Structure 1
Amino acid sequence: MDVLIRQFGVEDYATVWDAMKRFTAERTPATPDELWVLEHRPVYTLGLNGDPSHAIAPLSAPLVRSDRGGQITYHGPGQLVIYALIDLARRGLGVRALVSALETSVIGLCAQYGLRAETRRGAPGVYVARSKLASLGLRVRRGCSYHGLSLNVDLDLSAFDAIHPCGYRGLPVTSLTALGIPVRVCEVTAPLLLGLITELHLDGPAP
């Protein structure tokens, strides 16, 4: 069973979140897995068990308490978001395998631009030179995942100044353009999707 890729453009967070929950609730054992590709209008999101005190200054955009894992982060135009709506049970995948695939796909993309990226134990995401480049947040319901990955491409990083990103005090946040890679979201979407599909073996039949 192949994966379906849906391109959504720039969308409100709450609208897409509601759609993900509805898709997951209504899917059947025969429903194909999907990857949703988009950017969000400016918004801060706080994970299900997140601590609101990690917002340390007035926020420049609305704050939404989501049902994903993790703490507070920011989404906005110039950030590539990929939501992974995958039947993990059907594919024989665990949450750790999905997290690893998301991280590895970003690391592979960075390598294509000559950047050395890495993960950190206990702190999901991808880092370059000790700065966070990509964030992860997931939810699994009925053996199926939703939410996913956000990669900072060419967004305004000043929005992160109002928070402890992902709950870490003083954590620097970076983007591909800040790292000297002058690219736009549309230019990195295809290679990142290809890497993720390869890592998750989504281009072949489900087990």
Structure 2
Amino acid sequence: MNSHPLPFCLFYQGGIWPYTEAWEQQRQLVEARLQDEQLSDVLLLLEHFPVYTLGTGSKLDFVKFSPEAADVELHRTERGGEVTYHCPGQLVGYPILNLRRHQQDLHWYLRQLEEVLIRLLAGYGLKGERIPGLTGVWVEGHKVAAIGIKVKRWITMHGFALNVCPDLTGFKRIVPCGIGDRPVGSLQQFLPDISLAQVREELPKIFGEVFQLEMIAQQNLLGEASGNPK
């Protein structure tokens, strides 16, 4: 039996955040860990006001509206992947992990993020599936979770977006993740009574199991850059 305590991961349950604020918060957390690799891992769980984001090499061909005349925010970010959409009812997870403590393997990391979501869905009796050659999680052919990451000197940022109970109409204005032949879905389609509060409560525990981390809840973000639980 392993008597060593698990490394800890601070997690913060936020409400609905402007995308740019969450983006800046991630950058600060990453920068702190580039300066001091001993700082703890962090997981932010948030929602966003309606916003479209592009990966670093995303094609504007997948955006069906004019960015110059858009009535909603559009940001090109440093993550991988194509265009996606965030809005309330979608749970967005931003893990700030030092992969030197886990595995220095980006494919492993992507599969682990998928595993967190697949285990979460299994708890609701849903079979989450991977599709070879693609990143994300599907249920009955509907993409319910998108993943896009950035890793700098093995410190991660960006992460996953799980459609729990969002208004999906915003996805009609893009080709989500550049995949035109597979529909976007939500957990609510399959589980009409599911709530975001349920998923928020259960996800950190599963995240800790998959990544072998002790999850420590934070009431606010103060102290997280220093890596000390508050």
Q: TM-score, normalised by structure 2?
A: 0.84
Q: Specify whether residues 57 and 151 from structure 1 end up closer, same or farther in structure 2 by C-alpha distance, changes over 3 A only.
A: same
Structure 1 position 60, deviation (Å)? 5.3
Divergent runs of 4+, >4 A: none
Query: Pairwise mapping of residues 101-180 of structure 1 onto structure 2 (< 5 A)?
Result: 101-180=112-191
Which whole-Å CA distance do the structure 2 matches of 1:60 and 1:120 have between them?
A: 33
Which whole-Å CA distance do the structure 1 matches of 2:173 and 2:103 have between them?
A: 40
Query: How many residues matched?
Result: 204
Of 22, 29, 39, the match for 1:16: 22
What is the DSSP-based 3-state SS (H/G/I as helix, E as strand, rest coil) of the residue aligned with 2:21? helix
Q: Specify whether residues 64 and 126 from structure 1 end up closer, same or farther in structure 2 by C-alpha distance, changes over 3 A only.
A: same
What is the DSSP-based 3-state SS (H/G/I as helix, E as strand, rest coil) of the residue aligned with 2:8? coil
Which whole-Å CA distance do the structure 2 matches of 1:112 and 1:91 have between them?
A: 25
Q: Deviations over 1:72-120 (max 9, x none)?
A: 0000100001111000013334222221121111111111222111011
Letter in 1 for 2:41: D
For 2:223, the equivalent position in structure 1 comes to none
For 2:32, the equivalent position in structure 1 comes to 26
Q: Which runs of 5+ in 2 are unaligned?
A: 1-6, 216-230
| Structure possessing the higher radius of gyration over alpha carbons | 2
What is the DSSP-based 3-state SS (H/G/I as helix, E as strand, rest coil) of the residue aligned with 2:194? coil
Which whole-Å CA distance do the structure 2 matches of 1:117 and 1:202 have between them?
A: 23
- 1:2 aligned to 2:13? no
Letter in 2 for 1:6: Y
Which whole-Å CA distance do the structure 2 matches of 1:96 and 1:69 have between them?
A: 13
For 1:37, the equivalent position in structure 2 comes to 45
Letter in 2 for 1:8: G
For 2:74, the equivalent position in structure 1 comes to 63
What is the DSSP-based 3-state SS (H/G/I as helix, E as strand, rest coil) of the residue aligned with 1:119? coil
RMSD, aligned α-carbons: 1.5
Which whole-Å CA distance do the structure 1 matches of 2:195 and 2:75 have between them?
A: 26
Which whole-Å CA distance do the structure 2 matches of 1:203 and 1:94 have between them?
A: 21
Which whole-Å CA distance do the structure 1 matches of 2:77 and 2:151 have between them?
A: 13
Letter in 2 for 1:96: H
Which whole-Å CA distance do the structure 2 matches of 1:117 and 1:95 have between them?
A: 21
1:79–1:153 contact (8 Å) kept in structure 2: yes
Q: Deviations over 1:29-78 (max 9, x none)?
A: 22110000110111000000100110124665211111110000000100
What is the DSSP-based 3-state SS (H/G/I as helix, E as strand, rest coil) of the residue aligned with 1:120? coil
What is the DSSP-based 3-state SS (H/G/I as helix, E as strand, rest coil) of the residue aligned with 1:77? coil
What is the DSSP-based 3-state SS (H/G/I as helix, E as strand, rest coil) of the residue aligned with 1:135? strand
2:85–2:171 contact (8 Å) kept in structure 1: yes
2:10–2:41 contact (8 Å) kept in structure 1: yes
Identical counterparts, % of pairs? 34
Q: Deviations over 1:113-159 (max 9, x none)?
A: 22111011121000011110000010000210011111000000111
Q: Which runs of 5+ in 1 are unaligned?
A: none
Q: TM-score, normalised by structure 1?
A: 0.93
What is the DSSP-based 3-state SS (H/G/I as helix, E as strand, rest coil) of the residue aligned with 1:25? helix
For 1:48, the equivalent position in structure 2 comes to 56
